Amino acid sequence: MLEATTTTVLEPSTAMGRDYDGEPATLRAARRDVLAWLSARGADDETKQRAALIVSELATNALQASPGRPYNVSVVATGDRCAEIAVRNHTSGGVPPERDSWQFAEPSSLRGRGLAIVSSLAEDVEVCADNGEVAITARIRW
């Protein structure tokens, strides 16, 4: 099983950042790392479940946009019981769709639900795309 390749601790008490191999097997490690960070800060189970789904959706999007290329997951405390979860990747193609097109896809569709799901779970979602790098940040509160 593939694991995270590099750990960068930004500030132990307020942030965590980690690079992962661009393989689906790393999704479990990304979720586990974010959940451990939230647990250490006293997040409740409902928040951790939302965060796990947010990480899964955003990291899966990163893997689909750039198969085989590493991606980064970070989580930063932004206030009392608030955090930002960000997934960054280098894309070999397009950028995420505009916010007004984020909606739940038809049940038979294989793709197209991720950003709508993340938006429904987070307080806010921000998308930044520049020079082939995409960063999607979800803000959560517990």
Full set of structural domains in the chain with CATH: 6-141 (3.30.565.10)
pLDDT for residue 7 is more than 80: no
Collapsing DSSP to helix, strand or coil, 141 comes out as: strand
- DSSP annotation of 100 reads G
Selected residue with higher pLDDT from 18 and 4 = 18
Confidence of residue 29 (pLDDT cuts 50, 70, 90): very high
Can you tell me the mean pLDDT for 87-116? 68
Q: Which of 76, 68, 100, 87 is nearest to 134 (CA)?
A: 87
pTM, whole model, 2 decimals?
0.82
Tokens of 48: 């951790």
- Cα-Cα end-to-end distance for the chain: 32
Return the pLDDT at 11. Answer: 45
Q: What is the pLDDT of residues 125-137, one digit of tens each?
A: 999 988 889 999 9
Q: What is the C-alpha separation between 61 and 111, in angstroms, rounded?
A: 10
